Amino acid sequence: MSSLRPTGMLNILWFSAPTSFPHQCFLGPGQPCDCLSPLRAAAEQLRQKDLRISQLQADLRRPPPAPAQPPEPEALPTIYVVTPTYARLVQKAELVRLSQTLSLVPRLHWLLVEDAEGPTPLVSGLLAASGLLFTHLVVLTPKAQRLREGEPGWVRPRGVEQRNKALDWLRGRGGAVAGKKDPPPPGTQAVVYFADDDNTYSRELFEEMRWTHGVSVWPVGLVGGLRFEGPQVQDGRVVGFHTAWEPNRPFPVDMAGFAVALPLLLAKPSAQFDATAPRGHLESSLLSHLVDPKDLEPRAANCTRVLVWHTRTEKPKMKQEEQLQRQGQGSDPAVEV
Ligand SMILES: *[C@@H]1O[C@H](CO)[C@@H](O)[C@H](O)[C@H]1NC(C)=O
């Protein structure tokens, strides 16, 4: 300290926050001078800094602000995703995969419709654990329409009653067994998409369909015996369809290849799927009530991008399981698969 020159005194004062100041300071031994005003200025600066420090200390003591909530995208139209489902070995695997895809999409409401006598614990539990906004519906396909043992899957359209049940609910005819039971209030901006539980969906697809005014369309991969099927677009309008099979169907589009604005569905209360429609005409049975093919709204970069794939899950072989079951040693039936 003794080596400090007189200017050093001020430095010391900066840090020690004294409560009183000498009225005089010394340039050197025995050399008094009046330096009241620089000291006053220094004291004022000190006071300012003390103030700032107490402000900062107070800030530190305050609890941190609540973490910013992700803004609820209120203005986005809701996407109602209608999924028919039925009990089989791979049902849970398919529904877990689909529900986790849907979890990536904001403002989405899942209408899961079971082909069953009543709600099953597997589906009820899965919905409750999904974290999704959902409505659980159930309708059993009438026996006459059910696929017979050994019949190939394409003979009878599957999921017709279930999709129509979802349309009924959207039109205020009730029927929910769990989840959100009230239908969309009048004037709700929304779009409806029929998403089977075995396809593969890119999250981008949902943003393509969200702003649909009437009926929007896009290609579907790995369907109809082709790499993809889809609308042909010229100057931003649908002028035809790329398909190898029955190209003269009014709407040769796959169930996964279109979405319908909810107000349009509500304005045409009799529009629904026809279980008796010939093979490949199920989509047309709904769409011909709703839109002229030339008014289809192309999405996915004028239908040049594939964002949904008609994947099929192989039926698992259960040879060993059956063998063990015959010996009373089958996999524990209490474990849900
Ligand atoms: C689709 O085609 C129209 C007309 O050619 C064009 O104006 C528009 O930008 C295209 N849209 C996209 C997303 O490529």
pLDDT tens-place string over residues 218-255: 999 999 999 999 999 999 999 999 999 888 899 999 99
pTM beyond 0.75: yes
Q: Alpha helices of the chain — where are they, by DSSP H?
A: 6-16, 36-61, 91-102, 121-130, 160-170, 203-210, 262-267, 282-287, 300-303, 319-326
Residue 48 domain-assigned?
no
Q: Which residues pair with 113 in a beta bridge?
A: 84, 137
**Is residue 269 domain-resident?**
yes
**34-43, 88-97, 190-199, 236-245: range with lowest mean pLDDT:** 34-43
Mean residue pLDDT of the chain comes to 88
Residue 139 in domain = yes
Q: Which residue has the tokens 């809701």?
A: 78
> Nearest residue CA, atom 6 of ligand 1?
236
CATH number at residue 277: 3.90.550.10
226-243 residues labelled b (16+ CB within 10 A) or e (exposed): eebbbbebeeeebeebbb
Which ligand 1 atom minimizes the distance to the CA of 302? 1
pLDDT bin (cut points 50, 70, 90) of residue 17 is very low
User: How many structural domains is the chain composed of?
Assistant: 1
For ligand 1, the distance from its centroid to the CA atom of residue 290, given in whole angstroms, is: 24
Residues 333/199/80/118 CA torsion (nearest 10 deg): -30
Residue 197 lies in a domain: yes
- DSSP element (H, E) containing 192: strand 190-194
Atom of ligand 1 nearest to the CA of 234: 5
Q: Which residues are annotated as a binding site for UDP-alpha-D-glucuronate?
A: 84-86, 115, 158, 163, 196-198, 310-312
Weakest-pLDDT range from 139-148, 185-194, 239-248, 294-303: 139-148
Which of the four pLDDT bands, split at 50, 70 and 90, describes residue 68? Answer: low
Q: What is the mean pLDDT of residues 48-68?
A: 80
The residues annotated with a catalytic role in the active site are: 283
108 C-beta neighbours (distance < 10 Å), count: 19
Q: What is the pLDDT of residue 75?
A: 86
The separation between CA 222 and the C-alpha centre of its own chain, rounded to angstroms, equals 24
The pLDDT value recorded for residue 145 is: 74
Half-sphere CA count of 153, side-chain side, radius 13 A: 4
Tell me whether residue 52 is in a domain: no
What is residue 295's three-state secondary structure? helix
**Does residue 119 sit within a domain?**
yes
Q: How far is the CA of 52 from the centre of ligand 1 (A)?
A: 58
| pLDDT (0 to 100) of residue 174 | 97
Pick the residue whose CA is nearest to atom 12 on ligand 1. 301
Let me know if residue 18 belongs to a domain. no
> How do strand 297-298 and strand 215-217 relate by DSSP bridges?
parallel
| Percentage with pLDDT > 70 across the chain | 83
Structural domain containing residue 101: 78-146+157-217+253-300
Mean pLDDT confidence for 303-317: 97
Structure-model confidence comparison of residues 262 and 6, the more confident one: 262
Q: Is the pLDDT of residue 23 over 50?
A: no
Q: Whose CA is nearest to atom 7 of ligand 1?
A: 236
The whole-number pLDDT of residue 7 equals 46
Ligand 1 centroid distance, CA of 303 (Å): 10
244 falls within a domain = no
- Report pLDDT for 2: 43
pLDDT score recorded for residue 143: 84
